[in-house]
Structure 1
Amino acid sequence: MTDPQTTAPVGPDPDLLYSEDEDALRAAVRSLLADRGDPATVLAGLEADRAFDPALWRALATEIGTAGLLVPERLGGAGASAREAAVVLEELGRSVAAVPYLTSAVVAVTALLGCPCDRPEVAAPLAALAEGSTVGVLALPLPTAPGGLPEPAVRADAGGVLTGRVTSVADAVAAELLLVWAQAPEGPALYAVDAAAEGVRTDTVTPLDLTRPLGHLAFDGARGTLLATGDRARAAVERALLTGAGLLASEQLGVAEWCLTETVRYTAERTQFARPVGSFQALKHRMAALWLEVASARAAARNAADALATDSPDADVAVAVAQAYCAPVAVRAAEECLQLHGGIGMTWEHPAHLFLKRAKSDELALGSPGRHRQALAGLVGLDAP
Structure 2
Amino acid sequence: MTTFANALLAWFDRHGRHDLPWQHPRDAYRVWLSEIMLQQTQVSTVIPYFQRFLAKLPTLGDLATADEDTVLALWSGLGYYRRARFLHRAAQRCVELHNGELPREFDALAALPGIGRSTAGAILAQAYGLRFPILDGNVKRVLTRYHGIAGHPGEREVEKQLWLRADEHTPAERTADYTQAIMDLGATVCVRARPLCDACPMRNECIAFRENLTAQLPTPKPGKSIPTRSTIMLILRDTEGRMLLQRRGAQGVWSGLWSLPEADDTDNAWREAQRHARIDDAQSLTPFLHVFSHYRLKIQPLLFDSAAPAHAIADNADLRWCAIADLPALGLPAPVRTLLMALPEPTEEEKQP
Same fold (TM over 0.5): no
- The TM-score, its normalising length taken from structure 2, stands at 0.26
Higher helix share: 1
Larger radius of gyration: 2
